[in-house]
Amino acid sequence: MEKFTKFENLEEELIDLTDVLKNSLQSEVLSIKKLVKSCEKFKKISQSVHNLDDAEYVIFSKYMTKQFHDSEVYIFVDTTGKNVCNISGRDIDLYNMIMDCENLVEKKDQY
């Protein structure tokens, strides 16, 4: 049986991403989104969170319901997938601060 691969180019784009995060993204346990660094919300939060300016993407649970967002941890990574910082859902809301990753190519034929 062939393993499920969501993104064709994940390993090439995010070379420093840990294997557990790669596998979780490829199997769709976790989601990845690009940060909208130009929005006021991001600018304000990055003033108080060390290294957040270095982040390009955020990784989070695809299945966490809104009522449990306070318990979630968002993983912020840079352009190569290196971990920049982790922030609790208690301290941040990603709404209006993320968009799809245009550089990651989703595999079309999975089965």
Does this model's pTM top 0.85? My answer is yes
pLDDT tens readout for residues 79-107: 999 999 999 998 888 889 999 999 999 88
- pLDDT tens for each residue of 43-79: 999 999 989 999 999 999 988 877 887 889 999 999 9
Give how far the C-alpha of residue 53 lies from the chain's centroid of Cα atoms, to the nearest Å. Answer: 15
pLDDT tier at 110, thresholds 50, 70, 90 = low
Task: Give the bridge partners for 24, in sequence order.
Answer: none
**Domain spans of the chain, in order of start:** 10-98
Residue 111 has pLDDT above 90, yes or no: no
Ramachandran bin of 18, using left for φ above 0, alpha for ψ from -120 to 50, beta for the remaining angles: beta
- Do 49 and 43 meet the contact criterion of CB atoms below 8 Å apart? no
Edge-to-edge strands of the sheet including 30-35?
Answer: 83-88, 73-77, 57-61, 30-35, 98-99
